[in-house]
Structure 1
Amino acid sequence: MYSIKPEFEIPRYPLEQMGRLANPMLQIVEGTGQMLEHKDDILTPHRKDYYFLVYIKTGRTRHWIDMTPYTIKPQTFYFTVPHQILLKEELAPLHGTLIAFTEEFLALDDNQLLKKLPLIQNPQNGHELILSARDVEFIEETLDKITREYHQPSDWGNEMVSSYLRVLLIYLSRLYTEQFTTEDRIIDRQLVKRFQNLVEARFTELHQVADYADLMHLSAGHLSETIKVQSGKTAIEHIHERLVLEAKRLLFHSDQSVKEITAQLGFEDASYFNRFFKRLTDQTPVGYRTTIREMYH
């Protein structure tokens, strides 16, 4: 698969890494089979500080999102959010359209609709959307309008790009809901979203439900009960799953020691972290690292 460099730390790339930008918050690129700039950077594990959406028209290659490998397929839509770990196994020509934008771009939306969309929230840690012939037709037509306005500036061009992109993200969020969400989960999730956003922002420092309940001005019991009803998981399960996911990312993609990962995730004691990880995964951290690297190398 790839070799991990000694003392490797997973880098985080800003949007500026993609090249000279006309708009520092939004970049749209039409892939015509050319090799990417900074190509060596994407052949090692990394994170992006921005949302990354790609419609693949033609081409095949393989890459990783966190611990899951994906084989790129034509006429398929792929997306990542800032916290995920990405890795390409090889470089191969691809044709399609790439859209990248920052949190600051989302903040420009007056009513904050875009930040609430399932595709942006990505509660299921999805990455791939399967498209029907009708979806392909709509997406290609919308992307053509977006790229034409983006690359040929004219009066109200930015507003046109934002409007078309808004339509595209809503359409893709409908597909996300259809493909990743079961009917019994399509309910009012406002509180669970607030909770998940807090966990995402503070999971390395706050490990207890009561900590998040205080931030949300709720009792720990009420928060736990509501989260369970709305999401099917208890509040502490959400916290623990996020900690385990980050631990797995670091064990798989970096060469940090268990002691270093323990500190990075906010655990004071490595032996406690070992017990915590084993209780939730049935493996020790070292055992998990050995098993998954043997499986995919």
Structure 2
Amino acid sequence: MIERGGARTSAHRAAAEHIRTYPFDPSASVSGVGMQVGPMGTDRPWAGGAGLSRRVHRIDFHVLLFFRRGPVRHTVDFAEYEAGAGDILWIRPGQVHSFSATDPYTGTALTMQPGFLPRAIVEATGLYRYDRPPLLHPGEEQRAALAASLEQVEREYLDTSTLPPSLHTSVLRHALTALMLRVAHVSAQAAADECRPQPDTTFTRFRAAVEQGFTTNHSVSAYADELGYSRRTLVRAVRAATGQTPKGFIDRRVVLEAKRLLAHTDLPVGRIGAAVGFADAANFSKFFQQHTGVTPAGFRAEQV
């Protein structure tokens, strides 16, 4: 049962405050554009103000780390990834992650504000394909092409004198688009998928609606009504994009958020349940155990 209203909102707000979210800071960008690119370092905006530590946090923008040296261990949503020289780590908005406290981060960091690239490019590059792995291992020829493309983005980013601001931003978007299409190709290969745009925007809209509303709405029919689709259309679109049912997609998102809060906060189980849409702690515990095979308390104990 989903609780709506002030009590649930307060519970979610309290839970969210335990995992700090870092917003994109346009003022830290050259000319205030919606992206940043430069060398990795503890004083850089890409570090989210958290420094290179194991303190978990989430971001509301894209971070792509192009590693020049390795190995580097980085944790994204309960999975630890080890990146080597030439690898790329792609952390998407909303994902909870933490830096290694000991491994040196050497290479180039690129951050991108949602909305900086047009919708057609967002679709073509799978910018919000959370089903794809964060860590990418380009081949040797791909690495060379990516390095050249990244270098072009850096040049355009820093060149603020040869073009007026509006043209500078447009040229930068084009350069970034070329780079992201290359990264997306590697990402598609890593996911054993074809490099192509999503067949339509139905799943994209559904995914965005779920991300916005999963803490209060677990109903497939409600999402279908909100988006103006039939339930059958929504089922087809979600299956085509993810292989899951819409209900399975929603439940997976709820479970992920519950895991984040159980692992990274000390909130009581009941408050975590309320934060993800369950008015009754017993119902939340039953739901969590059905999907994970362990109780919320048991999952939290395993994280110690």
TM-score by length of 1: 0.85
In 2, distance between residues paired with 1:230 and 1:145? 32
Secondary structure of 2:38's aligned partner:
strand
- Where in structure 2 are the equivalents of 1:112-123 lying within 5 Å? 112-123=119-130
In 2, distance between residues paired with 1:102 and 1:55? 18
Q: Are the structure 2 counterparts of residues 24 and 14 from structure 1 closer, same or farther at C-alpha, using a change threshold of 3 Å?
A: farther
CA shift digits 1:188-214 (9 cap, x unpaired): 353223222221221111111111111
Partners of 1:14 and 1:49 within 8 A in 2: yes
Aligned to 1:244: 255
The one-letter amino acid of 1:275's match is K
In 1, distance between residues paired with 2:29 and 2:204? 32
The one-letter amino acid of 2:37's match is I
Instruction: Give yes or no for the alignment of 1:135 onto 2:142.
Output: yes
Partners of 1:12 and 1:47 within 8 A in 2: yes
CA shift digits 1:229-266 (9 cap, x unpaired): 55422111111111111111111122222112111111
Higher relative contact order (CA 8 A, sep 6+): 2
Partners of 1:61 and 1:90 within 8 A in 2: no
In 2, distance between residues paired with 1:100 and 1:225? 33
Instruction: Give yes or no for the alignment of 1:267 onto 2:278.
Output: yes
Secondary structure of 2:37's aligned partner:
strand
> Which of 209, 212, 216 does residue 223 from structure 2 map onto?
212
More displaced, 246-255 or 131-140? 246-255
- Where in structure 2 are the equivalents of 1:122-271 lying within 5 Å? 122-156=129-163, 157-182=168-193, 188=199, 190-224=201-235, 227-228=238-239, 231-271=242-282
The one-letter amino acid of 2:127's match is I
In 2, distance between residues paired with 1:222 and 1:49? 29
Q: Are the structure 2 counterparts of residues 35 and 238 from structure 1 closer, same or farther at C-alpha, using a change threshold of 3 Å?
A: closer
Secondary structure of 1:15's aligned partner:
coil
Partners of 2:68 and 2:106 within 8 A in 1: yes
Give the superposition deviation at 1:225.
Answer: 5.1
More displaced, 218-227 or 135-144? 218-227
Give the superposition deviation at 1:221.
Answer: 4.5
Partners of 2:234 and 2:246 within 8 A in 1: yes
The one-letter amino acid of 1:53's match is L
Secondary structure of 2:131's aligned partner:
coil
Structure 2 gaps of 5+ residues are 1-15
Q: Are the structure 2 counterparts of residues 98 and 119 from structure 1 closer, same or farther at C-alpha, using a change threshold of 3 Å?
A: farther
Aligned to 2:5: none
Partners of 2:42 and 2:52 within 8 A in 1: no
Give the superposition deviation at 1:216.
Answer: 2.2
Secondary structure of 2:127's aligned partner:
helix
CA shift digits 1:145-202 (9 cap, x unpaired): 121222232323433322111101111111111211446x997353223222221221
Secondary structure of 1:105's aligned partner:
coil
Give the superposition deviation at 1:279.
Answer: 0.9
Structure 1 gaps of 5+ residues are 1-6
More displaced, 215-224 or 45-54? 215-224
Give the superposition deviation at 1:141.
Answer: 0.8
- Where in structure 2 are the equivalents of 1:282-297 lying within 5 Å? 282-291=293-302, 293-294=303-304
Aligned to 2:82: 71
CA shift digits 1:267-294 (9 cap, x unpaired): 1111100001111111111111112x14
Aligned to 1:25: 34
Aligned to 1:12: 21
Q: Are the structure 2 counterparts of residues 266 and 51 from structure 1 closer, same or farther at C-alpha, using a change threshold of 3 Å?
A: same
CA shift digits 1:50-84 (9 cap, x unpaired): 11111111233212101100112110111111110
The one-letter amino acid of 1:115's match is V
In 1, distance between residues paired with 2:34 and 2:157? 13
In 1, distance between residues paired with 2:241 and 2:157? 40
In 1, distance between residues paired with 2:213 and 2:241? 21
